[in-house]
Homo-oligomer: A and B are copies of this chain.
């Protein structure tokens, strides 16, 4: 049963979150990948986000480019922590998505990470850090990863 839902706006963005999926796998965190568009399929987004907690999902990672409404749209329908990854898929190369994801209004938070591959990978680590508060195995795996990093 997945703990993390990784959501992309369309299947064409799948290569851009491979680093997320790999990092989650490496840390032993069960996850799922779904393609849902905030703008094209808003009901599916609402359904997914509202059902997520009940299905056992504890953190949602959403990646989007341009207007990048996906992370905020998911956050609007669930109280789970939502991590947003700005993608450089539009002609403005991610500065638009960074603005759209980071500048959420008061009341509905999204955790924004870096544009593109850096953020895709860190989204997994941020999810690990969050889940580590509750799941000992993830805590150990993430601590081991960070320890290896610190040792260079």
Q: Which residues of A contact B (CB under 8 A)?
A: 9, 19, 35-44, 46, 58, 65-69, 72-73, 75-77, 79-83, 86, 88, 90-119, 121-123, 125-126, 129-134, 139, 142-143, 146, 149-152
Contacts and interface: CB of A to CB of B under 8 A. Distances in A.
A130 B81 contact: yes
A69 B66 contact: no
A98 B112 CA distance: 10
A83 B152 CA distance: 23
A100 B68 contact: yes
A132 B56 CA distance: 14
B94 A99 contact: no
A107 B143 contact: no
Contact of A114 (B58, B103, B133): B103
A139 B53 CA distance: 12
For the complex formed by this chain, how many copies does it contain in all? Answer: 8
Contacts of A107: 37, 39-40, 121-122, 125, 146, 149
A113 B84 CA distance: 10
Residue of A42, A98, A106 with most chain B CB atoms under a 10 A cut-off: A106
A73 B118 contact: no
Contacts of A109: 113, 122-123, 125-126, 129
A129 B52 CA distance: 14
Contact of A67 (B41, B42, B66, B103): B103
